Structure 1
Amino acid sequence: MNESINFSQIAKVAKKRADLAQETGNSHSSFYPAQFIYCCLPYRATDEKIWLRENGTWTLGITPGIVTNPDGSRESFIPSGKLARAALLYVTTEAVKTGSPRIELAKSYRGFLQDLGIQWNQRNAREAVRQLRAVLSMSIQLSFVTADGEGGNVVSEYDFRVGSGREIHFDANADIKERESYLLLSQEFYEAVVVGHAVPIVTEAWRALIQETKSPLALDIYLWLSSRLANLTSPVHITWDQLYSQFGSESQSLAEFKKSFRVALETVKEYYPGANVREMGTGQGKTKGFKGLVLYRSVPPLPPKN
C-alpha cells in the first residue's frame, strides 16, 4: 500500500493521546489495536481454519481456539462481524484505562451489552459473549518482511494469544450470574496494546455508528480513518486494488467491492464529517491515470452532536 504502515509512529501518537485521555479523565476515548485496523477480522462467519490478511509487507494470521459453552458443548471458530470488533475494542479499552490485564465483566448480559455499545436483545447478548470468548481464545501471528541491506530479506514473526484465562459464571438460562466474572489478557497482548499500538477512538461516535450500521466494513473504515487522517503530513494515494487487498472479501469481485466500499464510506462520513477523503479516477474503462482514494490531513473525529 502506498501509505506504509509505520506502527512505531502510530504507537507514539496513540500513546500521547491515551496518556492525555487518562490525565484529563476524558471519557470520549475508547481504544482499538492498530494491528487489527490494518489487517481486519472477517466480516462474517467463516469455515476457514486459518484467517490471513495482508497489507503491504505485513501479514496477520489467526487460528481459532476452543470455546466451551455453558451447556458443556465446544466449538472452534474465528471471530467475525460487528460483535467481534466490539469485543476487541472493549477488552483493549478496559486494559488501557485500568492499566491491568484483568478485566471485570458486567454482572448481566444487559450491562455487558451496554459496555460494548450494542443494543439489548437476547440474540445480541448471547452472540456478544460468544464472540468475546472467541476473541480471547484466538491465536495471532504477525509477520512482516524487511530488507536486510545486503540484497536479502528478513522475516520477523510474533506469536501470541489475546487472552490467557477467563471465568464466566452462568445461570441455568445461560445468562451471566450475579457473581464475579472476569477475563485475563495475555501479557503479550496487554503489552502490545497498552505499551504499544492502541489507537484512540471516539466512544460516542463508535457507539452511534455500531448501533446504526449493519456493516462491519463501515466500522473498519471508521477505525482506519480515525487512526490515519489526523496524523498525515501529506496526501496519501491508495488504489482500489490496495483497498481491496486490505478490506475486500474473496466472495466479492473488485467491482462489487467498490460499490460496497463507497456505501460504507458515506455512512462513515456521517460520524466523521471532518474526514477529508476524495475519490479520483471515477471514469469508466481502462483509462490511464490514478484510480482510488486520496487521504488528506483532517481534524480528529469528534463526538456526534445531539
Structure 2
Amino acid sequence: MGAPAPKQEDKDARTLAIRPSVAARLFEESQAIEREDAIRAGMAGFLGRALVQATLPYREPDAELPVWGRSAGDTSLIIKPGHYFDPDTNKFKSMGYPYGTIPRLLLAWLSTEAVRTKDKHVVLGDSLGEFMNGIGITAHTGGKNGSITRLREMMKRLFASDMAIVRGGAAGGDFAQSKFSVADETCLWWDAQKPEQAGLWQSSVTLSDKFFNEIVANPVPVDLRALRALRQSPMAIDLYCWLTYRNFSLRAPTTVPWEALKLQFGSGAEAEKKFRETVKRALMQVMEVYPAATVTPTKAGLFLEPSRTSVPRLVKSW
C-alpha cells in the first residue's frame, strides 16, 4: 500500500515538458481518443500478456551478446538473436536483436490480427506502403536510415529471434520455462523501391503455435491510436500497455517500487536518478493519451490508484 498520492501536475505543465512536435501529435490523438473510444473507432488492438510484463530492448544491445533478458518480478523474457552466413568472413554472424519502437508496433499489429481472425497465418497487405500505414508508420522513406530499411531490418531480427518466458529459476525454487519464436514462416515479397506497388504474391507471416496461443489465450487490449501517438518513445509505449494491464485487476492503491520498475523497464547500467527521470518524461506522454490512469511518481516509486482501462472492458476478447 502506498501513502496518499501527491497532487498531479496539471495537463499544461506536462505538455510543456514534451517536445513541441511530439506534443502536437499527442494532443491530436488525445482529442480523437476523447471523442470516441477505441472500440467504436475500430482501433482496439491487442498484445500478448507476457510481452507486456517483460519487454523488448529500448536501445540496440551488442550483437555479439549470446543472450539478452529483462525481468519483472519472477517473470523474465530472454532473447537469442538469429544468425546468417556471411560469405565475406566465411562465418555465421548475429542478425542482432529487435529493439525500439518498430518491433513493438509490429507485435501489436500481428497480435491484433491474430485475435481478430483467430488464424495464425497473417497476410501483411498487398503493398509495403499499405502495411506500413497499418502499423502506424506513415513516412515511407528509403536509404540507409529510412523507415523502409529500418522496418525490414527489424522484421528480420524479430522473426529470426528465439525467445523464452522464464518464471522462477532461483536455486531450490519453482521453475517454469516456455520457449517460442514469433513466426514459423516469413514471406516478404514487397519491392522496397516501390513501396506503394502491390507485389506479385502476398507477403505473409505464419505465427508460431506458442506465440499464437499465448496471444489468443491472454490478450491485453490496447488503443492502437495511443501506440502510434507514442511511437517515438518505446518506453512510453511499454508504460502505457503496462498501466492499462495493471488497471484491469487493480482493486486498491499501491506503490510499485523504483527497484521493481527498473528491472522491468530499465537498463542494468543506467543510473537510478537518470532512470527515474526517463520514466517521468515517458509518463508525461502516456498521460496525454491515457488521462484516465491515476498514476503519480513519488520518492518510493509509481503510486497507482484503480482507474479505467484504456480500452473499455466490454471488448469481447478481454
User: Which of the five TM-score ranges fits, normalised by the shorter chain?
Assistant: 0.7 to 0.9
Displacement of 1:267: 0.8
Displacement of 1:77: 1.3
Correspondence for 2:189: 169
Asked whether the 8 Å contact 2:221–2:311 carries over to 1, the reply is no
Correspondence for 1:38: 53
In structure 2, what is the Cα distance between the partners aligned to 1:146 and 1:234? 30
Correspondence for 1:49: 66
1:124 corresponds to which of 147, 150, 154: 147
Q: Are 2:179 and 1:159 aligned?
A: yes
Correspondence for 1:296: 305
2:104 corresponds to which of 69, 76, 85: 85
Correspondence for 1:97: 116
With over 3 angstroms needed to count, the CA separation of the structure-2 counterparts of 1:136 and 1:67, relative to structure 1, is: farther
Correspondence for 2:228: 207
Displacement of 1:181: 1.2
Asked whether the 8 Å contact 2:190–2:203 carries over to 1, the reply is no
In structure 1, what is the Cα distance between the partners aligned to 2:210 and 2:60? 26
1:215-230, aligned counterparts within 5 Å? 215-230=233-248
In structure 2, what is the Cα distance between the partners aligned to 1:67 and 1:266? 41
Asked whether the 8 Å contact 1:136–1:161 carries over to 2, the reply is yes
Correspondence for 1:27: 42
In structure 1, what is the Cα distance between the partners aligned to 2:230 and 2:157? 23
Matched to 1:114, the amino acid is N
Asked whether the 8 Å contact 2:77–2:164 carries over to 1, the reply is yes
Query: What is the TM-score of this pair, normalised by structure 1?
Result: 0.78
Correspondence for 2:202: 180
In structure 2, what is the Cα distance between the partners aligned to 1:89 and 1:66? 25
Correspondence for 1:139: 162
1:61 corresponds to which of 78, 94, 103: 78
| Farther off after superposition, 60-69 or 291-300 | 60-69
In structure 1, what is the Cα distance between the partners aligned to 2:199 and 2:126? 6
SS at match of 2:230: helix
SS at match of 1:266: helix
Count residues in correspondence.
263
Correspondence for 2:16: none
In structure 2, what is the Cα distance between the partners aligned to 1:178 and 1:202? 33
Correspondence for 2:259: 241
In structure 1, what is the Cα distance between the partners aligned to 2:190 and 2:223? 32
Percent of matched pairs sharing the same residue: 28
Asked whether the 8 Å contact 2:44–2:311 carries over to 1, the reply is no
Query: What is the TM-score of this pair, normalised by structure 2?
Result: 0.75
SS at match of 1:27: coil
Asked whether the 8 Å contact 1:272–1:302 carries over to 2, the reply is no
Q: What RMSD over aligned residues (CA atoms) do the two structures have, in Å?
A: 2.8
In structure 1, what is the Cα distance between the partners aligned to 2:96 and 2:222? 27
Q: Deviations over 1:199-227 (max 9, x none)?
A: 110122222232xxx21111111111111
Asked whether the 8 Å contact 1:104–1:183 carries over to 2, the reply is yes
In structure 2, what is the Cα distance between the partners aligned to 1:102 and 1:111? 18
In structure 2, what is the Cα distance between the partners aligned to 1:44 and 1:90? 21
* 5+ residue gaps, structure 1: 3-20, 282-290
SS at match of 1:60: strand
In structure 2, what is the Cα distance between the partners aligned to 1:174 and 1:50? 36
